[in-house]
A and B are shown apart, each in its own frame.
Chain A
C-alpha cells in the first residue's frame, strides 16, 4: 500500500540534543512538507520542498533543518537551537497538480517530548 511513513512515533530528548524525524513516502509525490502542531492549535509550516535538492522555509523554520536528497525522503532535524521543541510533528506530501486534487497526504505523526 502506498503512503507516508513517519518514525519514530514517540521520541524523548534531553535539552541540548539534536534529533532527526524520518519521513518516507512511496506515493511518487513531488512535494513534501513538515508541519508542527501544538495542543489545541493549528498546523504551522516548518519547511516544504517541491523538488529534490531544493526546499523552502515555512513560517517557523528557526531551529529546524531539512534535506531532500531523494524524492521519497524528507527528514527533519530539530536542533538544540529550537527553544520549545515539544510538539506533534506531521509530514505530508502531494502531487504538483491542482487539476486532480492537490490534496496533502499526511503521515501518522511523530510526538517529540523534551525532558
Chain B
C-alpha cells in the first residue's frame, strides 16, 4: 500500500513556509524525497535512513520519525522554483531496495 502524503495540495506565497508529511502503514527503513516538475522526471532531494540524522540543504530539510513511521519535508522561505509535485519514496525492508512512492503533494508558489 502506498504511503499517504498530506496535504494533497498547497498554495503558498513566496517567502512562506510549508510542511509535507509522508505516513506509512509499515515500518520504514529509509525515506527519499523527490520533486517533479510538470512533464519532467522526478529529481532527488534527499535520503533519510533509519537511525540517521535529520537532513537538509539550502532551505529544504526533512525529518524521519521511525516510531510514527513517517517523514516530513520542510520548505522554508519558499521560492517560485519550489513549485512542483513532491513525492516520498519509502523502503520498508533493509536490503530490498524496493522503493514505494507516496501519493504526492502538489505545491504551487505564487509571486
Interface residues of A (CB under 8 A from B): 31, 33, 35, 40-45, 48, 50, 56, 58-59, 90, 94, 96, 98, 101-109
User: CA A40 – CA B42 in complex, angstroms?
Assistant: 14
- Please give the distance in Å from B20's CB to the nearest CB on chain A: 13
Q: Which residue of A lies closest to B94 (CB)?
A: A98
Q: Are B42 and A106 in contact (CB under 8 A)?
A: yes
Provide the residues of chain A in CB contact with B103, threshold 8 Å: 41-42
Task: State whether A104 and B100 are in contact (beta carbons under 8 Å apart), knowing that A42-B87, A44-B2 are contacts in the complex.
Answer: no
Chain B interface SS verdict (over half) = strand
Distance between B57 CB and nearest chain A CB, rounded to angstroms = 12
| B contact set with A: CB distance below 8 Å | 2, 5, 30, 32, 34, 40-44, 47, 49, 87, 89, 97-104
* A–B complex contacts, Cβ < 8 Å, 25 sampled: A31-B97, A40-B104, A41-B104, A42-B2, A42-B5, A42-B102, A42-B104, A43-B87, A44-B2, A45-B101, A48-B98, A48-B99, A58-B98, A59-B100, A94-B97, A101-B47, A102-B32, A103-B44, A104-B42, A104-B44, A106-B41, A106-B43, A107-B41, A108-B40, A108-B41
Chain A residues, CB < 8 A from B32: 102-104
Given known A41-B103, A42-B2, contact A90–B97 (CB-CB < 8 A): no
